[in-house]
Structure 1
């Protein structure tokens, strides 16, 4: 695999990137075809096995066991901390978890703000205090979860006993089924059997206790609350710790619900001398054959502003290169032709890429992929809040969002519910292609579908990396660079595997006071 040529031919060595929560290597493979060096940190054994086979340099383990000072040569920080707790932001637990993280970010911002004139020891003390608070909450949450499991097991025995009592009394199977359904609102049940009434009372009391424990767990949050703070602390350490240099650039991405976190991050990074931008990116608008939205934070160090004490400006957003997909709308694959007379040539966008087109091109590289007739993908998920109403997407459209359940999606004859014989599921290679991975990507380990679903789409990463790391390119140079990189990404093949490292393999360690 030949990387897309970098415009700076006089560069002594490739830019070095440290990728936190690196997953199977979505960002890493994009960085490699752009000619950059990447080291990833990832805890999941399956994702590490994939990375090893793909030749991605990796440290396996909890990100919290590592420090920015361990990788002093890294010039760019990237990552996508796990933020599932925020995906229900605005609805109870997600909102509270989001608010809690924002409060921690505000405390860190106060610690690094020049107006407060705090030295490194004081800044580190703030982080250590926050870390200890999170550790205590995590330990308490473990105890609450253990208690919750015990109560759930005991409640299950009460439910089983009620079912058995009803069956022994001659209650029909349908009536038993309806009774058990109503246990969600037991006050609606009218019971005369004293034994059954006693069991129901116990069941209800246990349900009340479980509700209290659920509320407590929601308030305590989980370890992901602390993990989402890690990239910010790495930036702070590199920016404020004596003897270390700030990162040249920072790129972070996650689900749209995390945008408020990135907004708060941006405030801190601006204080640290970075030009920043947050952008909600539609993946199909960047050549990914899939509709998916990602919240992206981009930052580039402004040394002139840093030295003069002037507030840095903002980074421009990444320009979309493809049309967005509108289901059932007119702005579809023909939009490029229909708009050609209305738009200047330089602003015209390519049409989005369909599943059919992406898989056909992949078959040209890996010829053992199945060739299907016109098909419809039936999602494992419901739509519009109705579990039974499965989402559907035809072959000549981009894929719906690829999730960790992609292997459960059915592939049927277009417009029917009839499975395609022998090819009624996407293979790992095909699912990877729809996430814009090279078809030759060597998926390994357990739960490959989850790896693919959680990964950064490499084609999206190409655009973001190019935009943030190569701001000096002209518009024509940027287009040429992306075109070459996209071709290199599609044709990428793994070279020799690399061994996975762990904490013991670090050649550099932080000083003792860290």
Structure 2
């Protein structure tokens, strides 16, 4: 019997689902509109209980259909989801249900709204309501647990109080909730990545040891995994064979790097692990810094991480959807003999995916990088799923 059955809303390429399965769960379905994620999700996440099949991939829109938004598919999704959950409950009677609701983080980032088109603004505003849309399914199926992960800034009032509203609505549905901003490096993930975590457990089923007060008004959220040692970059990716810029390994899936211009090869060639990009001002090749950076530095500012190399002896910087590009962060490989940014395989490892987790299409960089950068680290999802199941009063 699994420890719990689960549904993964906004599943993407499956980071949360991988963590849920690793925690001993049976995942009924992953829900995501992005069909490009389907092959990666299904081929990497077979359940280990019951039918041992992968979860259903439901490519549905969670919003209800209205005249103003005819693309909504909430009714169709509800019917498909109800069928899958009912089948799982029959197969595993008495096993608790967990909903993972990790909505896309883009609506809660600091990208200037002035830089977006009207269409993109409309999509961002709609996506900011994804958490509330998922509450309809929580109300219908009454899971014992809810797990939500998002960017650290989601609780900022400038994003409309969506995090606090989501938490209040869960409270109205009988949950005790807790929220905390954590760094994933404290959970065995080899990466500095701050995230907001919201946990919810049915109030009348929650053990006192997991509550912050006697009034049962606050669920404790751990700030780290005491059993997970810190993992540095070299420990996470040092086993992978060397590559050059623009090369693809013949047998290791996704061990593929982006090509570099002659100028960027010079830049990364003189970069040292962990240093800022101020090295570019004075090199054997002359001043290699960008004109725009020179102007910003003259005003006392700067983008100090771009064109830099990672430190081998500490966790990596945050892995983003542009993690393959040295011009978008400190994404240069720590080995000074390798003149390149990290590979997609290395980025996945820094997100705590196993080397056998293959992202498709394997012959492309941009879509795979987006999947990896947007993913919830599997180790993080595994820890909090375990923690929630352990919160049940025995």
- With the shorter chain as reference, the TM-score category is 0.5 to 0.7
SS in 2 for 1:407: coil
Aligned position for 1:302: 203
Say if 1:249 and 1:391 are closer, same or farther in 2 by CA, change over 3 A.
Answer: farther
Which residue among 269, 273, 281 is the counterpart of 1:376?
273
State the TM-score, normalizing by the size of structure 2: 0.64
Task: Encode CA deviations 1:353-410: one digit per residue, 9 max, x unaligned.
Answer: 11001124678xx99679xxx9737999x99963475274311111100000111135
The answer for the alignment partner of 2:356 in structure 1 is 440
Query: Which residue of the partner structure matches residue 78 of structure 1?
Result: 100
Greater relative CO, 1 or 2 (CA 8 Å, sep 6+)? 1
Number of aligned residue pairs: 298
Match in the other structure for 1:28:
17
Residue in structure 2 matching 1:53, options 39, 43, 47: 43
Take 1:81 and 1:387, find their aligned partners in 2: how far apart are those partners? 29
Tell me the C-alpha RMSD between the 2 structures: 4.0
Normalising by structure 1, report the TM-score. 0.50
Q: In the alignment, which residue of structure 2 is the partner of 1:320? A: 224
Quick check: 2:108–2:128 contact (8 Å CA) kept in 1?
no
For 2:61 and 2:302, locate their aligned partners in 1 and report how far apart those are by CA, in whole Å.
37
- 1:67-216 equivalences in 2 (<5 Å): 67=78, 69=82, 71-73=84-86, 75-88=97-110, 145=119
Displacement, 1:470? 2.0
Deviation at 1:218, TM superposition (A): 5.5
Contact kept, 8 Å, 2:11 with 2:31, in 1: the verdict is: yes
Matched, 1:430 2:346: yes
- Given candidates 249, 253, 257, the residue that maps to 2:149 is 253
Q: How does 1:373-452 map to 2 (within 5 A)?
A: 376=273, 386-387=302-303, 390=306, 392=308, 393-409=310-326, 410-411=331-332, 420-421=338-339, 424-445=340-361, 447-452=367-372
- Cα deviations by residue, 1:407-438 (Å, 9 ceiling, x for unpaired): 11353566xxx6725xx232222111000011
Match of 1:355 in 2: 233
User: Which residues of structure 2 form unaligned runs of 5+?
Assistant: 46-53, 64-72, 89-96, 156-160, 207-213, 242-249, 257-270, 278-292
- Does structure 1 conserve the Cα–Cα contact (< 8 Å) formed by 2:205 and 2:393? no
Residues 454, 277 of structure 1: CA spacing in aligned structure 2 closer, same or farther, 3 A cutoff? same
Cα offset, 1:60, TM superposition: 2.3
Larger Rg: 1
Q: Which residue of 2 aligns with 1:15?
A: 4
Q: 2: distance between equivalents of 1:468 and 1:92? A: 37
**Is residue 182 of structure 2 the alignment partner of residue 281 of structure 1?**
yes
Structure 2 Cα separation of the partners of residues 411 and 15 of structure 1: 40
Partner Cα separation in structure 1 for residue 215 and residue 168 of structure 2: 11
Structure 1: distance between partners of 2:123 and 2:323: 32
Cα distance in 1 for residues equivalent to 2:194 and 2:368: 21
Q: Distance in 1 between matches of 2:123 and 2:235?
A: 47
